[in-house]
Homo-oligomer: A and B are copies of this chain.
Amino acid sequence: MDTEALTQRVLKNIFVELEASGRHVHITKEQAQALFGHSLTPKRPLSQPGQYLANERVTVIGPKGRFENVAVLGPERKEGQVEISLTDGKTLGITPPVHLSGNTENSPGATLSGPMGQVTLPKGVICAKRHIHMTPEDAARFGVKDKQTVKLQTFTQRPLIFEDTVVRVSPDFATYVHLDYDEANACGYQPGDLGRILI
């Protein structure tokens, strides 16, 4: 093993890489048909295995404003969902609850607009609760379990410690911290920045 590879391996034993998620949308197969006239098509893979950024984009419309050209992530899901930051919520005139992705309980709705039509979601607008995707191997190494909450110290321009950060463990995951853009900007995140789990 050369020095660079060794350095990377040591770093990965101590730190977790941070990623910032911009506003994005998940839709169902039926909603893809209504919005685009066809299923989603992959543009490029995301860090989580099997997940991709779609070529297709939508406009998200709220009572006070709209965002055009919003990313749609594939593959399609069983329920439509819009993930925005609290700052985005002010622009749209929507106050999303802070929930883990997939939990749309008691969330407000929004309208999606695509080249072939519009879809109104009665609910599904959330602010994604910060979380760490982790492989079972990394979870064992860091001594954490699925659904455990940890503190996460960021080594960033504006350093801080995120409390109440949920660990999600699955063999389908790659190990990354997911922050929204309020959190990313609050800590001065730059791509490649690292964090450390404090238990």
Copies in the complex: 2
Query: Which of B85, B86, B157, B162 contacts A160, CB < 8 Å?
Result: B162
Residue A105 at the B interface, CB < 8 A? no
Residues of chain B within 8 A (CB-CB) of A87 are: 85, 87, 181-182, 185
Residue A164 at the B interface, CB < 8 A? yes
Which secondary structure dominates where chain A touches chain B? Answer: mixed
Query: Which of B153, B159, B188 contacts A86, CB < 8 Å?
Result: B188
Residues of chain B within 8 A (CB-CB) of A153 are: 163
How far is the CB of A22 from the nearest CB of chain B, in Å?
Answer: 10
Known: A85-B185, A87-B87, A185-B86. A161 touches B163 (CB 8 A): yes
Asked if residues B188 and A186 are in contact (CB atoms below 8 Å), the reply is: no
Report Cα–Cα, A187/B164, bound state, in Å. 11
Q: Which positions in A face B, CB cutoff 8 Å?
A: 85-87, 98, 129-130, 151, 153, 157-164, 180-183, 185-188
